[in-house]
């Protein structure tokens, strides 16, 4: 949970809210098939639906801001390092502009590769 204070009062942002915004930003990036679960089940990572993005995203408080860990599935045939870099940039930008919070790190874990439609 991220907490902020303004001259008008106190604001608490739940991890689910942050995860939903992160997941939406990440899945808009070219090459990302979707968000993945953090845990493998029978050797396969689940592709998460929008309402379950929080299962594929971890939000922690760092020293200077939030630390976001995203678990993604990427498309086959696309340069993974470019996908990850774009996801990091977009998630950081969207969170800073939308929620006005500091982001210390955006860690991206590629859980699987799938053929893109």
pLDDT tens for 91-110 read: 999 999 999 889 999 999 99
Q: Is the pLDDT of residue 46 over 80?
A: no
Name the pTM for this structure: 0.86
- Contact predicate 31/75, CB 8 Å: yes
DSSP letter for each residue of 3-70: EEEETTEEEEE-HHHHHHHHHHHHHTSTTEEEEB-SS-BTTBPPBPPGGGGGGGEEEEE-SSSEEEEE
Of 33, 34, 103, 115, nearest to 69 (Cα)? 103
Q: What is the pLDDT of residue 117?
A: 65
Residue 48, pLDDT score? 80
pLDDT at 40 over 80: no
Contact 32, 74 (CB under 8 A): yes
Domain ranges of the chain: 2-114
| pLDDT of 44 strictly over 80 | no
- The architecture CATH gives domain 2-114: 2-Layer Sandwich (3.30)
Type and span of the H or E element at 78 = none
């Amino acid at each position: 949970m991220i907490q902020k204070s303004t001259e008008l009062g106190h604001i608490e942002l739940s991890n689910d809210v942050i995860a939903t915004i992160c997941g939406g930003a990440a899945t808009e990036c070219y090459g990302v098939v979707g968000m993945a679960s953090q845990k493998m089940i029978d050797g396969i990572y689940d592709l998460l639906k929008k309402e379950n993005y929080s299962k594929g995203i971890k939000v922690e408080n760092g020293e200077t801001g939030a630390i976001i860990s995203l678990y993604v599935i990427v498309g086959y045939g696309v340069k993974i390092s470019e996908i990850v870099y774009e996801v990091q940039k977009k998630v950081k930008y969207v969170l800073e502009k939308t929620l006005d919070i500091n982001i210390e790190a955006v860690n991206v874990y590629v859980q699987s590769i799938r053929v893109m439609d």
